[in-house]
Every structure is written in structure tokens, then in C-alpha cells.
Amino acid sequence: MNDSPSGADRRITVICGGVGAARFLRSLIRVVDPASITAIINVADDMVLHGLSISPDIDTVTYTLADAIDPDRGWGLREETWRAMEALRRYGDGDWFSLGDQDLATHLHRTARLADGATLTEVTAEIATAWDIDVTLLPVSNDRISTHVTRADTNEELSFQEYFVGQQHGVPISSVRFDGIDAATISADADTAIRTADIVVVAPSNPIVSIGPVLAVPGVHDALAATNAPCVAISPIIGGEALKGPAANMLAELGHSPTAVGVAELWSDLVDVMLIDDADAALSQGVAATGVVPYVTDTIMASPERSARLATSTLSAAQLRNGPIA
Amino acid sequence: MNDSPSGADRRITVICGGVGAARFLRSLIRVVDPASITAIINVADDMVLHGLSISPDIDTVTYTLADAIDPDRGWGLREETWRAMEALRRYGDGDWFSLGDQDLATHLHRTARLADGATLTEVTAEIATAWDIDVTLLPVSNDRISTHVTRADTNEELSFQEYFVGQQHGVPISSVRFDGIDAATISADADTAIRTADIVVVAPSNPIVSIGPVLAVPGVHDALAATNAPCVAISPIIGGEALKGPAANMLAELGHSPTAVGVAELWSDLVDVMLIDDADAALSQGVAATGVVPYVTDTIMASPERSARLATSTLSAAQLRNGPIA
């Protein structure tokens, strides 16, 4: 009944990291029924800190869709307090990673439920329900995967959070490793969500450490290869820079072009169409040369209106799978 | 140089539970050098909740000696906030056990340090140092011990905190079990503190679930038997009631007399002298019949002055080991 480019009723499965993906999903629910969307979220940033199981990307997506994310910080909850962290200073702890008092409740709940034997998929659904979120939020895997990077200057291996938060991603890296990924498998729900999707979207998240470990989970590649759905990506790199975070530096340090072309090269076996920003129109031919159809548009989610247009454009772009419409 | 009854410079080792012991220690540091005191603290109430390692008796002693305990609640920190617990309600959790935001920092630190491989003895010392406490605080054991009680009405086994906090100790019990105690051993520091003490004091804590599991840790009995120091106890039961908590009910339910005599019977192999309250003067003969020398005095720590007198009386009572002075 509904085959409009707005995508209503089409099942949309979005491969997600944290902040960029969360903002894209928030845009997408402005133009389609949230219940038609499934987010498959990176878990390789997950960690156990002070005994608590923390899933930064899942929480960022959850809090953003709940309209509870702190808009200035870009992570954690708004109207947050920091009493526990301040008290931790008495013990000389907690300097490099801050957990707000309300945010702690999410980690306490997750930790308790996992200890009870629940899967991360189950806990993530409980938390999403508690925040009245209609998008289906799925960790890509129920298994433990953890990103480590090697510093190029010292050859020291850091956990992702030590690199990202502790070092403010300010040191050059020479390699990235996803510990545990060989033994991990795609969760059954994530597998189904990819295989039964009408459109697959790769959100504008860090290609190396957010989308990278999702795609590397055994089973994800097979599910993407098996689906008939068009796969549309949004380049997280605009004019050679990431809007936020170290994606461009990481691409360059690991030998990729820090441009939309470099991203297209990474994903050319899976992605049919890539949205690249108006600022990168000159890169269209380079993207096309990788086998990915370029779609040049405004990709900066700087206002609700521009964000909603990006979401609509993304769904429209799915129609370009077989090449640009003449 | 100093052999006054005030006990200055004598090494005093105090067998401790939570609230009653904490108040006694706070009294004792008014009359002797805190550095001469070692507290050996029950760990059988310890638990892992939401992934956090919680040591209620150690924390109560620590916060009380730091003058940071909430005077109204009797546990946790003063000027506490409850943002994390309030946020937990969104997930339907946290109803039966409350952790304040500042208090959470203590559990977060302990959990992280234990995960790093530190012993509970080391972590307890770190936390005591952070609170500027000069009394040496020692867990009786570095091993995991956990008290369980069986409800007399339903035969259901409850963890101690489920009984004490969840049920508000309002259900009758038929038995108590210290899970893990057979495999536990006294910590080396606790062993030394008992063996080298000039006076051993058994604080006025619950004989069944606070002092009981301390004395039952393998090695404690041997250390107490080996020391030449007099052992002085303060009865936690006055007029057939505990000032606070379920000690009298528990004694009765487990077949003991819920009186100072019942307590003396429990401890007669270890305790030389027991302070009993003026209200229980009539029980002196009964106590004496167990082989424990009774010392009748004011045992209610209702003011700083009365508390200090109790501490002084306790040290004086040590001189009565060989029977009352005629």
C-alpha cells in the first residue's frame, strides 16, 4: 500500500556505532514509524569498569532516542549529577572515565541482569522499553568483544576507552584489534533483522572502530550478503574530516584515504549506495570507481529539518542501487 | 611506662560486627590512642550486588570512625543523595537495598581493586586511610563467606541481606549457615593482631550473625586460644532485648537464652569477663555459672560521656580475668 520514498512500513535495519548513528536514528524516526526500524549496535567499546558492565554505544543510542542525552556533552544523561564520581576522588579513582549518578543506574541494572544470566540482547530490550523507545535496539552480538589500539609512538596497546577517553584520541595509532571477535557470533535477532530488512543503512559512525567491529562479527557479512535489500551508507567523513571524533585520523593512520572514497573502498563489497556531502561532490567519481553509487546531498544533521531531509534522502537513495537515475 | 586502666599504649584488638561495634570503637578512641586499636571485622554480610562488592560491616565501622555515618539512618553516609537508586526504579530494580551516590564510590573502588587482584585486607586499609582513620581495620578473612538463614515458617533459605534488609528481620528463623566458611582462613594480619594483643574485646554486636561468623572462621579460635591477653566481651543483650536489630529474637529462635547469660554460654570458652548492663545485675550469678566473670555497669552508649565510660570500664574489666576483685 505504501511505497513512498519516505519508507513507511519498510523494515529498515541500521548498522550503528554511537553518536553519529544515534543522531541519524533520531532523524529517521521523524520520517518513518519507529517500530519499522531495527538498530544493530556496536559492542566492541563495551567494558567492565569498577565491576559494572558498560555499553557506551548502546547507551548513547538509547539515551538519544529517549531524548534524554545531554546535548552539550553528547554522551550520558541530561540533568546529570556526579556525586559518586566526586566521592571516588577520595580513593584516587575515576579520573579518566566519568559515570553520572543516573547513568550508573543503567550500568547497575545491566550488570545485575547479566549476572542473572540474561543476554545483552534481553537487557538492551529491557532498557529500551524502560525508556519507551519503539525502535528495536539490538547488540550485534551477545559475546564479549573489545577494541584495542596500538599506539604508533610507543607501541603500547590501549583499550579503546583508554585511547578514546583517557587519551582523548590524541595519539597516533598503528593498528586496531577486536579482542574476542573470532569466537563471537552475530546474535540471532541481529541476523534476522539483516536478512529480513527491506533497506539496510550503514549509519555515519566511525568506519574503523564503530562500524568496523560490527561488520567483522562472524555472521554479519554472511547476513548482509544474503539479504536482497539495498544497502545505503552515509559517509561519516566530510571534506577529509569527521564531524566528531578521530575517524579521519584513524583512517589515515591505518593507510586508508581519509575521505569518502576511502570509506567507500572499505565497504565496497557490502554497500550499494553511499551518501556523500555536497562539499565532497568532486569525490563522486572516486566513490563510483569503487563500485559504490554516490549520492551527493546535505549530510550535516545541524537542525531537525536538515536531519529529517538526510533521513528521507537515505531512503530515496536505496532506489539507486543499480546506478544513478539518469 | 603506662599501665593505667585507660589502656593507653596497650594493644587492643576488637572483634567486630557493624553498628554496635562501630559505636564501641568510636567510644574507645576517646579514651585510648586510636593507633593502639585493631578492629577485626565480620565479612559474612558481604555481598555482590549489581556487580559491586559490598562490605556492610566494614563500611559501617569505617564511616562511623570517620564521623561520616548518617546518625539517623545508622548506616551509609551523611548528606547522602540517592540519584542512582531513584534512576534504578525506571528499570524496576533497587527496591530492597539502597546505595547512596557517595556510598557507591566506596563499592566501586573496592570492586575495581579486588578485580585488580588486591586483597580485601589491602582495600580495607586503603579506604580507611582515605578517611584518615588511625584504627587498624581488618577483615577477619580475605575469603568469601556469606551468611544465609532459613525461615522457620517457609523453610526458605534467604541471604542475610534479604533477611535483614529485605524482610526487615521480621520473620522467624530456624538455622543460620555461613557459606564458604570451611574453606576460609583467618587473614594473616588478623591472626597476628589477636596473637599479639594485650587485650581482646568482643564488641556488643549480634552474637549469631556478626560475632558468630568471625569466631567461626578457621584460625580465629586457635589465635584466641593462643593469646595470653584477657578477653572481655560486652553483652549486646540488655533486659532480654538487643538495643538494635534481631539479636535477641535470633538467640531465642536458635534455642539460646535471649539474655546476657545466653550470650555468656555461647562465648564461655573464649571470653574471660563480660560486661553486663546494670539492668541485668540479677543475671550476674548466671553469667558467673558459665565460667565468665560478670562485670555489671552502664553499657548503654547514649551519650559521649556514657560511651567513654563504657570504653574505660571495658579496659578495667580486663583486670578481672581471674575473678572479681574482693
Q: What is the pLDDT of residues B88-133, one digit of tens each?
A: 999 987 666 789 999 999 999 999 999 999 999 999 999 999 999 9
Determine what percent of chain B is predicted with pLDDT higher than 70: 95
Q: What is the pLDDT of residue B241?
A: 87
A8 pLDDT above the threshold of 70: no
The mean pLDDT of chain A is 93
CA of A263 vs chain B CAs: smallest distance (Å)? 38
Dist CA A122 CA A144 (whole Å): 15
Lowest-confidence region among A161-165, A186-190, A210-214: A161-165
10 Å CB burial of residue B216 (0-12, 13-18, 19+) is middle
Looking at the domain assignment, is residue B103 inside a domain? no
Res. A5 pLDDT band, cuts 50 70 90: very low
Q: What is the pLDDT of residue A319?
A: 87
Looking at the domain assignment, is residue A99 inside a domain? no
**How many helices (H) does chain A have, and how many strands (E)?**
13, 14
10 Å CB burial of residue B115 (0-12, 13-18, 19+) is middle
Q: What is the DSSP letter of A222?
A: H
Residue of A nearest to B103 (CA): A84
B292 pLDDT above the threshold of 80: yes
Res. B288 pLDDT band, cuts 50 70 90: very high
Looking at the domain assignment, is residue A6 inside a domain? no
Dist CA B263 CA B287 (whole Å): 9
- 3-state SS, chain B, equals CCCCCCCCCCCEEEEECCHHHHHHHHHHCCCCCHHHEEEEECCCCCEEECCEEECHHHHHHHHHHCCCECCCCCCCECCCCCHHHHHHHHHCCCCCCCCCHHHHHHHHHHHHHHHCCCCHHHHHHHHHHHCCCCCEEEECECCCCEEEEEECCCCCEEEHHHHHHHCCCCCCEEEEEEECHHHCCECHHHHHHHHCCCEEEECCCCHHHHHHHHHHCCCHHHHHHHCCCCEEEECCEECCEECCCCHHHHHHHCCCCCCHHHHHHHHCCCCCEEEEEHHHHHHHHHHHHCCCEEEEECCCCCCHHHHHHHHHHHHHHHHHCCCCCC
Q: What is the pLDDT of residues A299-324, one digit of tens each?
A: 999 999 999 999 999 999 998 876 65
Q: What is the pLDDT of residue B325?
A: 52
Q: Are the beta carbons of B123 and B109 closer than 8 angstroms?
A: yes
Lowest-confidence region among A96-100, A205-209, B9-13: A96-100
Looking at the domain assignment, is residue B279 inside a domain? no
The mean pLDDT of chain B is 93
Looking at the domain assignment, is residue B159 inside a domain? yes
A46: closest CA among A38, A36, A56?
A: A56
Q: Which domain holds residue B159?
A: 147-179
Q: What is the pLDDT of residue B2?
A: 40
Give the other-Cβ count within 10 Å of A228's Cβ: 8
B7 pLDDT above the threshold of 70: no
A218 pLDDT above the threshold of 90: yes
Q: What is the pLDDT of residue B323?
A: 63
How many domains does chain A fold into? 1
Q: Do A127 and B50 touch (CB under 8 A)?
A: no
Q: What average pLDDT score do residues B291-301 get?
A: 96
CA of A292 vs chain B CAs: smallest distance (Å)? 43
User: B303 has which bridge partners?
Assistant: none
Q: What is the pLDDT of residue B90?
A: 94
Q: What is the pLDDT of residue A320?
A: 85
Q: Which residues of B touch A127 (CB under 8 A)?
A: 91
Q: What is the pLDDT of residues A59-105, one digit of tens each?
A: 999 999 999 999 888 889 999 999 999 999 999 876 667 899 999 99
Q: What are phi and psi of B118, to 5 degrees?
A: -70, 150
Interface of B with A (CB under 8 A): 48-53, 81, 83-88, 90-94, 101-106, 108-109, 111-112, 115, 126-127, 130-131
Q: Are the beta carbons of A273 and A320 closer than 8 angstroms?
A: yes
Nearest to A105 among B91, B109, B112 (CB): B91
Q: What average pLDDT score do residues B252-274 get?
A: 96
B6 pLDDT above the threshold of 70: no
Q: What is the pLDDT of residue B324?
A: 59
Angle A314-A249-A154 (CA atoms, 0-180°, nearest 5)? 145
Nearest to A108 among B84, B86, B92 (CB): B84
Dist CA B153 CA B172 (whole Å): 7
Determine what percent of chain B is predicted with pLDDT higher than 90: 86
Determine what percent of chain A is predicted with pLDDT higher than 90: 86
B34 pLDDT above the threshold of 90: yes
Q: What is the pLDDT of residue B94?
A: 65
Looking at the domain assignment, is residue A90 inside a domain? no
CA A251 to chain centre: 16
Looking at the domain assignment, is residue A97 inside a domain? no
CA of A76 vs chain B CAs: smallest distance (Å)? 13
Q: What is the pLDDT of residue A98?
A: 84
Q: Do B127 and A102 touch (CB under 8 A)?
A: no
Q: What is the pLDDT of residue A134?
A: 98
Q: What average pLDDT score do residues A158-177 get?
A: 92
Q: What average pLDDT score do residues A38-49 get?
A: 96
Q: Which residues of B touch A59 (CB under 8 A)?
A: none
- Which residue matches cell numbers 546505595? B99
Looking at the domain assignment, is residue B86 inside a domain? no
Q: What is the pLDDT of residue A241?
A: 87
Q: What is the pLDDT of residue B225?
A: 93
Dist CA B280 CA B260 (whole Å): 8
Give the other-Cβ count within 10 Å of B300's Cβ: 15
CATH number at residue A30: 3.40.50.10680
Interface of A with B (CB under 8 A): 48-53, 81, 83-88, 90-94, 101-106, 108-109, 111-112, 115, 126-127, 130-131
Grid coordinates representing A160 are 579503546
Nearest to A50 among B85, B94, B112 (CB): B112
Q: What is the pLDDT of residue B245?
A: 86
Res. A166 pLDDT band, cuts 50 70 90: confident
